Amino acid sequence: MNPLLEITNLSAAVDGKPILKGLNLTVCAGEVHAIMGPNGSGKSTLAAVLAGRPGYEVAGGEVLFDGANLIDMKPEDRARQGLFLAFQYPVEIPGVNSTYFLKAALNEVRKARGLPELDAMEFLDLVRARMDVLHLDQSLLNRPVNEGFSGGEKKRNEIFQMAVLEPRLAILDETDSGLDIDALKIVAEGVNKLHRSDNAQVVITHYQRLLNYIIPDYVHVLHDGRIVRSGGKELAYELEERGYDWVTDHVKSERPELAAA
């Protein structure tokens, strides 16, 4: 099968400071990947680079999304091609109505896929069904995007948007942070329901906790801008037990050339 996402030797910098230093990752349709790592290892930078956030300079390497060069695409084109980033810190947008925003986004995405735009009624039917999955109150639709939402509401709103836009590749950037266990279960349940054989999910997290509810096929450990270890879901448990020091110490002893970088 052709990979959906193929990252080869990716390096990227923020404000001239190198963060990603030769990262490789391949994700195929139907797979769930978890990327774990300590603070500062480059997890959020990876998410930002993939979504095309301005200010992140790609210094080298290649990212192919369904065979096309992702780095050259505008953020909106990435989204239209089926890439979705669930933000670690969703942005409040005062004055922009949630329904209006989401309808505009969905119709852009549908246009790019050669589907007809939805009218107001069709849109509302779709949205209501997806809101139930995330246990979101429908009154949120009448409010400005994320404005005045609680932390949990913001995170659920991200997954709700994902449910509406139906991306082929979703990147969840620390979606578990700041969630209590009930909210975490709702979010995980939503993500699991959206999982299909023709899409893929990359779950970025600091803690193993989320992976009790979203079961990954692969777990990767990010350290100092590189994936230093990959394995099955059992790697997450091992990390939880032994801590990140275990991996980083391991790197130092096994591959001193990486540790020195």
Residue in 44, 161, 175, 199 binding another protein, rule: CB under 8 A: 161
| Closest distance to another protein from the beta carbon of 200 (Å) | 18
* Full strand arrangement of the beta sheet holding 17-28: 17-28, 3-14, 56-65, 68-69
CA distance 186 to 136: 10
Contact (Cβ atoms closer than 8 angstroms) between residue 211 and residue 236: yes
Among 67, 94, 114, 116, binds another protein (CB under 8 A): 94
Using the rule CB under 8 A, which residue among 95, 116, 120, 253 binds another protein?
Answer: 95
DSSP H or E run through 97: strand 93-97
> Does 72 sit near another protein (CB under 8 A)?
no
Residue whose C-alpha is closest to residue 102's, from 128, 77, 83: 128
Q: Judged by CB under 8 A, does residue 67 bind another protein?
A: no
Q: Which residues between 12 and 51 bind another protein (CB under 8 A)? A: 51
Separation of alpha carbons 2 and 169, rounded Å: 14
Chosen residue from 53, 168, 209, 250 binding another protein by CB under 8 A = 53
Taking CB under 8 A as the binding criterion, the range among 72-80, 115-123, 191-199, 222-230 that sits at the site for another protein is 72-80
The verdict on 114 binding another protein (CB under 8 A) reads no
153, containing H or E segment: helix 151-165
| Sign of the CA dihedral running 92, 137, 212, 216 | negative
Q: Tell me which residues in 163-222 interact with another protein (CB under 8 A).
A: 165
For another protein, the closer CB: 111 or 242 = 111
Number of residues that bind another protein (CB under 8 A): 32
Q: How far apart are CA 89 and CA 124, in angstroms?
A: 26
Distance, in Å, from the CA atom of 147 to the CA atom of 91, rounded to the nearest integer, reads 8
Q: Does 76 bind another protein (CB under 8 A)?
A: yes
Q: Which of residues 140-159 bind another protein (CB under 8 A)?
A: 144-145
Among 4, 27, 35, 85, the residue binding another protein under the rule CB under 8 A is: 85
DSSP track, 177-225: TT--HHHHHHHHHHHHHH--TT-EEEEEESSSGGGGTS--SEEEEEETT
- Taking CB under 8 A as the rule, does residue 71 contact another protein? no
- Closest approach of Cβ 145 to another protein, in Å? 8
Minimum CB distance to another protein smaller for 32 or for 48: 48
Are 14 and 57 a contacting pair, CB within 8 Å? yes
Binding stretches for another protein (CB under 8 A) = 51-54, 74-76, 78-80, 84-85, 87, 90-91, 93-96, 100-102, 104-106, 108-109, 112, 144-145, 161, 165
